[in-house]
Structure 1
Amino acid sequence: MTQARIIVGMSGGVDSSVAALRLRDAGEPIAGLFMQNWAEDDALDGGGCRAEEDRRDAVAVCGRLGIPIHFRDFSGEYWAGVFEHFLAEYAAGRTPNPDVLCNREIKFKHFLDAARELGAESIATGHYARVARDGGRQRLLRGRDRGKDQSYFLHQLGQAQLAATEFPLGELPKPEVRRIAEAAGLPTAAKKDSTGICFIGERDFREFLSRYLPARPGRMLTPDGHEIGEHPGVFYFTLGQREGLNIGGVRGFEPAPWYVVGKDVARNILYVDQGADSRWLRSERLWSETAHWIAGAPPAARFRCTAQVRYRQHDQACEVELGEDGSLAIAFAQPQRAVTPGQSVVLYDGDECLGGAVIAATDAPLERRLRAEAA
Structure 2
Amino acid sequence: MAFLKLTFSKNKRDKLAQVLWILNWVSVMTGILLFSMGLFLKVEINKRVELMAERDIQYVPNMLIAVGLIACAINFLGGKICYDCVDTTKFLRWKLILLPYIMCTFFFTFCVLVGALMCYSMHRELEESLNLGLTEAIRFYKDTDTPGRCFLKRTVDLLQIEFKCCGNNGYKDWFQIQWISNRYLDMSKKDVLDRLRSNVRGKYLMDGVPFSCCNINSPRPCIQQQISNNSAHFNYEHQTEELNLWMKGCRQALLEYYTHIVQSIGLTVLITWLFELSVLTGVRYLQTSLENGLRQGDLNSESDGWLLENGLMETARINLNIMKNIGKCNQIDTANNGDPNIDVPSSSIAH
More helix by share: 2
More strand by share: 1
Q: TM-score, normalised by structure 1?
A: 0.25
Per chain length, whose mean CA-contact separation is higher, i.e. which structure has more relative contact order (CA < 8 Å, sep 6+)? 2
Q: TM-score, normalised by structure 2?
A: 0.26
